[in-house]
Structure 1
Amino acid sequence: MKQETVPDFAIRIKHAVFCLCFLTLLVGVSNPVPARAGERRTYTFAVVPQFPPLLIKRYWTPLLDRVSREMGVELKLQFYKSIPDFELDLLKGVPDFAYMNPYQVVLTHKANGYVPLVRDEHRQLVGILVVRADSAVKSVRDLDGKVLAFPSPKAFAASQYLRALLSEKEKIQFTPKYVTTHSNVYRHVILGRVPAGGGVNKTLDKEPQS
């Protein structure tokens, strides 16, 4: 779908989200199927699975419920087991709306004409490399030749950015292990399955304190 064919509902949702001050939301829109006369329109809303489904439901349901009430539609939250599964559906144009990272926006716009509606202009998306508090790793050089955990190959800040930084700037060799979600990365590090893993501050801050 090209940008000029974005439905009126998408523009209204854009304004509604801005009014609700959800400035960190980045939404893509495909080509929703029109509802029949008298029917309430239902749209699917996909969220990149950085967290387990229960946490995604807790964080996103209040927002989607409010937008649904104010716009007179139904936004149905769609769950995915892994980031690769989420990305596959995006490339197929399955969800009507989605919360995704900047790299995924570029891919989906080219593939299916998803259009960014809201973005955050004030915060940079920065990856972090985490280790256990009692880890013997004291320097990035200590990770040379190790296996490191990442959510998925295309996770922008938590994987692509960090892998490029480690390889090109730090000049270390490592074997990436993709574990499907940010939460799984932190679990692998805590359990000692890998010495370090990639994530972002937002997802790390939401992890339960041990």
Structure 2
Amino acid sequence: MRVLLALAALLLTSLLSGCGREEQPPGPQYSTAPAASSKPEYTFAVHPLHNPAKLIQAYQPLIDELNRRIPEATFKLESSKDYASFEQKITAKSPQFILPNPWQTLQAMQSGYRVIAMAGDETEFRGLILVRKDSPVRQPTDLKGKAVSYPSATALAACILPQYFLYQQGIDINKDLENRYVGSQESSIMNVFLGETAAGATWTLPWTLFQKEHPAEAAQLRVAWETPHLQNNSVMVHHDVPATVASKVQHALFALTDSPEGRRILDGMATKAFYPASNETYTPVQNFIADFERKVRPVKQP
């Protein structure tokens, strides 16, 4: 409850800064009026990097840019309440475009999606393990018998990489820790801040944004350990989407670095750039996941 109240307070503070303009609520809009256009509509679903309100704030400018650059189609942003609901959408093949994490990228390939870009520099895709600055934890084995928070069991940078790191440090994460999967990056961080867990896992992008938006809380935390990096999140398109549309989206993503407005959009997402990538780009992730599941645990929890 303390975590939920604290997150609500932080979210309210962030949203108040955006008051003064009326925004449409997220999700589908309903109307009794006939459709004004027969343009094809494409849903762009982003995995839960942030809570839904924050995600829309960060990614709606990208969708607006796609609509500006590709006027013959309409793009709509879709958020998800948690990792499980986003992954269900992938299985159902409901969004035409998705921005999944690397593990979800592998799953999406099995549902008819293909990679058209990588979202951000892969060296930024590192797991972080946070503790309070007043914590007595100094080495990984100090966490034995304690609670550790993560956004989700399927969060690659913010759970799987940190758990593999702890395994390499001699911790049996299935027996030595109380693993708490708390639903979002912000919640994982706030669990540590409030002392609900001895440590919390996240990754570089959410931690950078948290430091920027909540400096007082972030100042009471420190990064205890970083993991090696893997390929960053991908952008994928379902095979039902015409190749011409997919190509235009791909080129629009790559072109963001070419203008001040595009760079502002990237900055709002805390993303340096979108880079060329394909399914084969994520082969190292597939190899890592196989090793993780062999040594640590299945990625999908019962």
TM-score > 0.5 by shorter chain: yes
Q: Which amino acid aligns with 1:119?
A: M
Instruction: Tell me the distance in 2 between the aligned counterparts of 1:132 and 1:121.
Output: 28
Alpha-carbon deviation of 1:165?
1.8
Corresponding position of 2:202: 199
* Alignment match, 2:141: 141
AA aligned opposite 1:67: L
Query: 1:120: Cα distance to partner?
Result: 5.2
Equivalence for 1:71: 70
Residue 58 (str. 1) matches residue 64 (str. 2):
no
Distance 2:201 2:113 in 1: 27
1:117 aligns with 2:116: yes
Is the CA contact (8 Å cut-off) linking 1:44 and 1:95 kept in structure 2? yes
State the Cα deviation string for residues 11-34 of structure 1 (Å, max 9, x = none): xxxxxxxxxxxxxxxxxxxxxxxx
| Cα pair 1:50 1:183 within 8 Å, conserved | no
Picking from 182, 185, 200, the partner of 1:182 is 185
8 Å contact from structure 1 (residues 45, 98) kept in 2: yes
Quick one: which amino acid aligns to residue 49 of structure 1? P
**Matches of 1:121 and 1:60, distance apart in 2:** 14
Separation (CA, whole Å) in 2 of partners of 1:50 and 1:189? 18
Q: Deviations over 1:28-47 (max 9, x none)?
A: xxxxxxxx9x6111111111
Secondary structure at the aligned position of 2:114 is classed as coil
C-alpha distance in structure 2 between counterparts of 1:177 and 1:121, whole Å: 28
- Tell me how far 1:81 sits from its aligned partner: 1.0
Equivalent residue pairs, number: 172
Aligned-partner Cα distance in 1 for 2:187–2:105:
24
Q: Which residue matches 2:86?
A: 86
Question: Aligned residue for 2:152?
Answer: 152
Instruction: Provide the C-alpha distance between the structure 1 equivalents of 2:40 and 2:118, rounded to a whole number of angstroms.
Output: 25
Other structure's SS at 1:46 match: strand
- How many Å apart are 1:180 and its aligned residue? 1.0
Cα displacement (A) at 1:133? 1.9
- What is the TM-score of this pair, normalised by structure 1? 0.77
- Structure 1 stretches of 4+ with a deviation exceeding 2 A read 120-124
How high is the sequence identity, in percent, across the aligned residues? 27
RMSD after superposition:
1.6
Matching residue's letter, 1:64: I
CA drift of 1:123 comes to: 2.6
* Matching residue of 1:163: 163
TM-score (norm 2): 0.54
User: Are the structure 2 counterparts of residues 149 and 121 from structure 1 closer, same or farther at C-alpha, using a change threshold of 3 Å?
Assistant: closer
The answer on whether the counterparts of 1:145 and 1:174 sit within 8 Å (CA) in structure 2 is: yes
1:116 match: secondary structure? strand
Which structure 2 residue ranges, 5 or more long, are not aligned?
1-34, 217-302
Q: Look up the match of 2:45.
A: 46
